[in-house]
Amino acid sequence: MTAARILVIDGNVAAVRAGRPLRDDDGLMEALGAILNDAKLEPAFVALMLSPPSDADIAREIGSDVDPDAVFKARRRLRAAIGRRHGAVLADTYARMITPGPYRPDAQNAGRRALKNVCLDLLAMTEASDAIARAKTQYENADNMTDRMAALETLALHDRPERAAALDDFYARYADDPLIIDKWLALQAAIPEPATLDRVRALTRHTAFSTANPNRVRALIGSFAQVNHTQFNRPDGAGYDFVADFVLALDPKNPQVAARLMGAFRSWRALETTRRERAETVLRRVAAMPSLSRDVHDIVARTLVDS
């Protein structure tokens, strides 16, 4: 099933790049419908089968000349297509997976939560107002962090007032919990839309962020560089410049974390020509800095030679 989904997405990646219409694979859609309607299957298994491969997995499968925007569009379209084709069953499954009573961390209930939250995401991908409202309701009424975070992650992918309200509420609820605020920063850094770079810049000035706190740096800058494939790999090179400039400012204070951030450039040779050239230019700019730490210099040198 995973190989089939990659092939479907890969075909649509090529279609995006060529400006051709995207297609739905009826065989795949029928198979997913059969899985959804099979009551004998474990919820955790169904959740796994309904989850398309990640952007990174698809890029590795393509291997070269990768366009992260095309990968993202094809993957998002597949999720939206599943949400439209199987909306009624997904909504029914979501309702059935709600477990009454107190939160239980056992494997069975974890599987039910996983399936419920996959259904939530696929339904929201259709942009239907009732699906966004369902995510908002789950966020507000969740009695555990798994469900609240899943709802917030779903809302984060949609530029609507519900997202801004939930992000503000989340910070207000958990401002005193460092680990949860790391998640809050990481989630915003990973939003795959053009406004995210400015959002990340603004968050570096937020009271919750400090360059002296490695966890905060990894959460915000690391998530942007390593998770947000479309915005780190912006075709204008602004994502590369931002991360490189941050690394150069951080290097004298914490070369180990700075070097780890530069690791986001490891796959630059697999990108399409424009992005590849911009990434190489930034890598060579960093490599030419005379006061570079050994940690960062080694990462950059290996990235330029061995990638």
User: What is the model's pLDDT at position 50?
Assistant: 94
CA distance 144 to 176: 17
**Pick from 74-78, 136-140, 144-148: least confident:** 74-78
State phi, psi for 170 to the nearest 5 degrees.
-60, -45
State phi, psi for 105 to the nearest 5 degrees.
-90, 10
User: What is the model's pLDDT at position 10?
Assistant: 58
CA distance 272 to 289: 26
Q: What predicted TM-score, i.e. pTM, was given to this entire model?
A: 0.92
Length of the chain: 307
Element (H, E) at 252: none
pLDDT at residue 2 above 80? no
- Quick: pLDDT tens for 101-125: 888 889 999 999 999 999 999 999 9
In the chain, which residues fall in CATH 1.25.50.10?
Answer: 1-174, 176-307
How confident is residue 13, by pLDDT bands cut at 50, 70 and 90? confident
pLDDT at residue 169 above 50? yes
Element (H, E) at 62: helix 55-62
CA distance 158 to 151: 12
The count of other CB atoms within 10 Å of the CB of residue 3 is 9
CATH class, domain 176-307, is mainly alpha
Q: Which CATH superfamily is domain 1-174 in?
A: Peptidase M1, alanyl aminopeptidase, C-terminal domain (1.25.50.10)
User: Mean pLDDT over residues 243-254, rounded?
Assistant: 98
User: What is the model's pLDDT at position 1?
Assistant: 55
The count of other CB atoms within 10 Å of the CB of residue 4 is 12
Q: Of 33, 132, 51, 142, nearest to 92 (Cα)?
A: 33
